[in-house]
Amino acid sequence: MNRRILIFSFLLFLPFAHVFSQVVVIQQEKEWVNVGRNMLIYEDNSLNISIKEIVSPTIQQQFALAQADVPALATTTAAVWIKLSIQNLTDEKCFLQLTNPSIDSIEFYAFDAQNKLLKAKKSGNIDYSEPRELYSTSFVFELPPATREIYLRVLDDETLTLDLKAGDLQALYEYNNQRVWWNAIYFGIVFIMLFYNFSLFLTTKDVSYLHYVGFSFAFVLSFAHTQGFSNYFLGDWDWFLRKYSFLAGSISVGLGSTFAFNFMQMGKYYPWTRKLVYVVVSWNILNIIIGFSGYRHIAFLSMQSSALLPIYIYLVLAFLIYRKGYKPALYYLIAFVGLEIGLTAHILFGKGIIPYFSPLVDYFLHIGSAWELVVLSFALAYKINVLKVEKEQAQVENLRLIQVQNIDLEDKVNERTAKLNNAIEELRVANEQMQALGDFKEGMTSMIVHDLKNPLNTILGLGEKTEVVQAGKQMLNMVMNMLDVQKFEKAEFQLNLADIHLHSFVNQAIAEVDLLIQRKSLSVKNNIPLCLYVRADAEILNRVFINLLTNAIKYTPNNGKITLSSTLPVALPADFVGVAVEDTGTGIPQEKLNYIFDKFSQVESRKSGLIAATGLGLHFCKIAVEAHCGQIGVVSDLQKGTTLWFSLPKAEIIGNLENHTLIVENHHQFALTEADIAQLNPYLVQFRLFTVFEYSDVKNILDSIEIAENENISLWKKQMENALRACNEEKYDTLVGLGVGLDIKKSL
């Protein structure tokens, strides 16, 4: 009876056996698991099935179990859905990697045991600038801890292989590291050979070398695309190769045909081969036209055919030409047999005709291509020797014409000598440029050391607190200029805009450089009207004023005068406010006025010993003002003085100005309730153990504060960060309860 029940159950579930897969179990740390035959595959030719429909019983029955360790679906325009069950028995995070960087788009869905969606992610090509735990040229997805079932939707009109690996971070890192080393060795060999043969072309002017270099470089770009390394060669243009991958392959095949024709002298032995090369080149031009017309799938299939069939014909021709006595054809035969084996295996594996029997399959094309490059490089070198021998034989045969040829040879020697002299001159110019670059680098390094050394010497050598703080702020301002210039140039800086009372703000900036003013006995006047408000980032604006004031102090002689006003030498729009910083210094020569805002620009030479600066202060002012949509400029008269001016957007102040909050760098105002103070109290106790100058310790405590959705505490935390960056001891003591307390009014 039991036997009958078992047989009945087997027959009942037999039609559905293909939709069940084994669970992929991660049992040990630092070991990856190949998903392979444990995945289920479904091809959606309509391209319209969603994740909600894919989990329905009707679609589930149409999934088929994979039949290979690395399933290959050839070239398909369908959306391929992959389903797999997974269980992580380790304590480490689990990741899923799809090793196929050239995929057009991929969607990832993770479900728990109750079929609840835990995570969904959609992406196109890999974004190499995106922060990730594992930097890989493959698609890597982190699995939520409760993940039991995963669905992937893959879309690609090129050769689609599904090489899926699962494991922890260390396991996948070691697996990818092996791929990186293989590719590093391959690309190293490639570029050595390309550089060597391009050098030979420059020496011999033989067009065969140029065809070889072009053919090999286009092939390497196409290959780098499939391996996910094309962004290292093309940078921001990598998107173009990803979208039109058929282009590099078609160019490679076309140039490879012209190289074979020239290298083996096919036109000499078989004149009809010229038409064959025309057909192959035209075929690949047609592939490019088809691809750019929107039929990428057809262009890719046609390109693969045009890559295989002509090479087999060229191999037969190489054998026949060698039989006729042209020995370089043997090198071509040996080289391209290796390439053709690797290329054929790669294509047949991608179409699923050859099963994935070993990880070595991944590197067939590496080996075949590297073999072809090395052997052909020897072939081209051998060709030079053949030409040399032929030249010697011609000289022996035509000995009677030596006297006539001497004149031609003398002309050639003179020509080569002239070229050599030109090369020497080019090397001399290049050497001078390198020397200039070296001098710049040396001067830059010396300048940085010098500029940072002076404030540090002051900090170490002076005992008065005012001197120490002033020197520290001076050093911090120079360092922040360097850092913020880089942030602005990379568009990584965000402005925190606020309404600022300009007159009060200027007074505060003057106070920060008061020690420098006193040292030179300067007179500084603030003539900014009391009614002016601007809309700006307080921290950035403070550093603009510090830079401009420091610059004016530096170039103004002892007992000189510096004036700040809102009177500008140019007209401004009605919604902008102007600020001018006028000094009585030596002025700036007219020929240098256009360059003072340039990066690393100096009015005085560093080597003169007169002025020492980073050359970034005014450049920072320029990009900071322009980030606020303002303008900046300079007016100067020699021996009379210089006026640096800039404009900022005017703030709209509504209501009584006396009741309006004055937002300056040290007085962002807010209010903390007793509940807020109670939440912050454990952190305040820790803050009181450190001063504002112990940056790392204070920053670590600040970063540990995680009190969500509390505006008052968020404002308090922001003010703490500002105080820490500016080394503002008074503000820091106030915020941690060591100074005047926390009873300040809220603004912003």
d(CA 679, CA 677): 5
d(CA 572, CA 161): 62
In the 3-class helix/strand/coil scheme, how is 496-531 assigned residue by residue? CEEEEEHHHHHHHHHHHCHHHHHHCCCEEEECCCCC
The label of the residue with tokens 């807020």 reads: 676
The label of the residue with tokens 């830079």 reads: 547
d(CA 582, CA 603): 17
Instruction: Determine the pLDDT at residue 694.
Output: 76
Find the angle CA(685)-CA(688)-CA(693) to the nearest 5 degrees.
140
d(CA 183, CA 101): 14
Half-sphere exposure of residue 496: CA atoms within 13 angstroms, side-chain side? 14
Among 208, 104, 82, which Cα is nearest to 159's? 104
Predicted confidence band of residue 588 (pLDDT cuts 50, 70, 90):
confident
Contact 461, 500 (CB under 8 A): no
Which of 5-19, 135-149, 594-608 is most confident? 135-149
d(CA 336, CA 264): 13
Tell me the angle at which helices 207-227 and 169-204 cross, rounded to the nearest 10 degrees: 170
Residues in the chain: 748
Find the angle CA(490)-CA(493)-CA(498) to the nearest 5 degrees.
155
Instruction: Determine the pLDDT at residue 489.
Output: 59
The three-state secondary structure class of 209 is: helix
Percent of the chain whose pLDDT exceeds 90: 7
Percent of the chain whose pLDDT exceeds 70: 73
pLDDT per position as a tens digit, 514-568: 888 888 888 899 989 888 899 998 888 888 998 899 889 988 998 899 999 988 8
The least confident of 356-370, 434-448, 651-665 is 651-665
Instruction: Determine the pLDDT at residue 595.
Output: 78
Contact 25, 89 (CB under 8 A): yes
Contact 85, 76 (CB under 8 A): no
d(CA 305, CA 312): 11
pLDDT higher than threshold 50 for residue 463: no
> Mean pLDDT over residues 243-262, rounded?
80
The three-state secondary structure class of 559 is: coil
pLDDT higher than threshold 80 for residue 499: yes
Helix (H) or strand (E) holding 484: helix 465-489
d(CA 488, CA 627): 8
Instruction: Determine the pLDDT at residue 580.
Output: 93
- Number of neighbours of residue 19 by Cβ within 10 angstroms: 17
Instruction: Determine the pLDDT at residue 646.
Output: 93
Tell me the two tokens of residue 460: 């170490």
Tell me the angle at which helices 465-489 and 617-627 cross, rounded to the nearest 10 degrees: 60
Q: Phi/psi at 23 (nearest 5 deg)?
A: -80, 130
Overall pTM > 0.75: no
d(CA 579, CA 644): 8
609 sits in the region (left: phi over 0; alpha: psi -120 to 50; else beta) called: left
Q: Count the helix, strand and coil residues of the chain and give each as a percent rounded to the nearest 5.
A: 55, 15, 30
Pick the residue with more confidence: 132 or 17? Answer: 132
Instruction: Determine the pLDDT at residue 222.
Output: 73
> Mean pLDDT over residues 679-683, rounded?
85
d(CA 78, CA 43): 6
Predicted confidence band of residue 612 (pLDDT cuts 50, 70, 90):
very low
Among 144, 97, 90, 139, which Cα is nearest to 117's? 144
Predicted confidence band of residue 647 (pLDDT cuts 50, 70, 90):
very high
Tell me the DSSP string of 7-45. Answer: HHHHHHHGGGGGG----EEE-STT--EE-GGG-EEEEET
Instruction: Determine the pLDDT at residue 72.
Output: 74
The alpha carbon dihedral of 160, 165, 166, 170 has a sign of negative
Instruction: Determine the pLDDT at residue 466.
Output: 60
Predicted confidence band of residue 487 (pLDDT cuts 50, 70, 90):
low
The label of the residue with tokens 């405590």 reads: 701
Q: Phi/psi at 526 (nearest 5 deg)?
A: -105, 100
pLDDT per position as a tens digit, 31-56: 888 888 888 999 888 888 888 888 88
pLDDT higher than threshold 70 for residue 675: yes
The three-state secondary structure class of 79 is: strand
pLDDT higher than threshold 60 for residue 311: yes
d(CA 224, CA 233): 9
